[in-house]
Chain A
Amino acid sequence: ETGVTQSPTHLIKTRGQQVTLRCSSQSGHNTVSWYQQALGQGPQFIFQYYREEENGRGNFPPRFSGLQFPNYSSELNVNALELDDSALYLCASSQSDRARFFGPGTRLTVL
């Protein structure tokens, strides 16, 4: 059974740029959620996708957007990057609302 994978591992961008992060769900999972973890903090919920539709969103601006594909993999897109967007971005997959299994994360640095 393959776990949750994320790419890239690390990324450096400058303010104003756009970034796309990718996530492959664990086999058999139909739900993907994304979290932002700032340094020294717990993860914060960005949004969730279930069967290719966004069905939950946290307190993040519209420049954070996403997609889920028919194979349940997912992308997180962030436009107009700000310095405060520097964080570890975690993807989690689950079978509906059950236990979420997290990937290793993508470390984004915005300069």
Chain B
Amino acid sequence: AQSVTQPDIHITVSEGASLELRCNYSYGATPYLFWYVQSPGQGLQLLLKYFSGDTLVQGIKGFEAEFKRSQSSFNLRKPSVHWSDAAEYFCAVGAPGSQGNLIFGKGTKLSVKP
């Protein structure tokens, strides 16, 4: 079955520290891969996406993610976290021509300590 796993429900990091949020997926072929961020009570903002090509993807707000086919992973990273990065982060997968069906993980809540 197709699925997305975000193993960390809640992560706390200090401001200025580096961040890595994990995402593993189970899918029949190489999917499209996405990371979204959601602030409390808000919709989802697209941070970055991977369709094909270079496996290291740069996104907005200084985030990047690396697609590792052998590990079925698409981990999100940021070298230095800002207090404004506190939010919930969702990894999602979809297939080309998937007719809209993005499959989301359950999310990782990020807290930032001053």
Is chain B a partner of chain A in the same complex? yes
Q: Which residues of A contact B (CB under 8 A)?
A: 4, 6, 31, 33, 35, 40-45, 47-48, 50, 55-56, 58, 90, 92, 97-105, 107
Contacts of A35 in B (CB 8 A): 102
Please determine whether B102 and A90 come into contact, CB atoms closer than 8 angstroms. Answer: no
Given known A101-B46, A102-B36, contact A41–B101 (CB-CB < 8 A): no
Task: Specify which of B42, B49, B90 is in contact with A99 (CB 8 Å cutoff).
Answer: B49
Interface residues of B in 19-78 (CB under 8 A from A): 32, 34, 36, 41-46, 49, 51
Residues B43 and A100 in contact, CB atoms below 8 Å apart? no
Number of residue pairs A-B, CB distance < 8 angstroms: 68
* Residue in chain B with minimal CB distance to A45: B101
Q: Can you list 30 pairs linking A and B with CB atoms under 8 Å apart?
A: A4-B43, A6-B43, A33-B100, A35-B102, A42-B4, A42-B92, A42-B104, A42-B105, A43-B44, A43-B102, A43-B104, A45-B101, A45-B102, A45-B103, A48-B99, A56-B99, A56-B100, A56-B101, A90-B43, A92-B102, A97-B94, A97-B97, A97-B98, A98-B51, A99-B49, A100-B34, A100-B46, A100-B100, A102-B44, A107-B41
Q: Is the CB of A90 within 8 A of B97?
A: no
B106 within 8 A of A: yes
In the complex, which residue of chain B has the Cβ closest to the Cβ of A10? B41
Residues of the B chain whose Cβ atoms lie less than 8 Å from the Cβ of A55: 99-100
Indicate whether B96 reaches chain A with its CB closer than 8 angstroms.
Answer: yes
CB-CB under 8 A from B42, the residues of chain A are: 104-105
The bracket for how many chain B residues form the interface is 20 to 34
Are B98 and A56 neighbours in the complex by a CB distance under 8 Å? yes
**Which of A47, A102, A103, A107 makes the CB contact (< 8 A) with B100?**
A47
Contact A48 B104 (CB under 8 A): no
CB neighbours (8 Å) of B36 from chain A are 102
Which residues does chain A contribute within 8 Å of B90, judged by CB atoms?
42-43
User: Are B100 and A42 interface neighbours, CB within 8 A?
Assistant: no
Cα–Cα, bound, A44→B104 (Å) = 7
Decide: A99 near B98, CB < 8 A? Known: A42-B105, A43-B90.
no
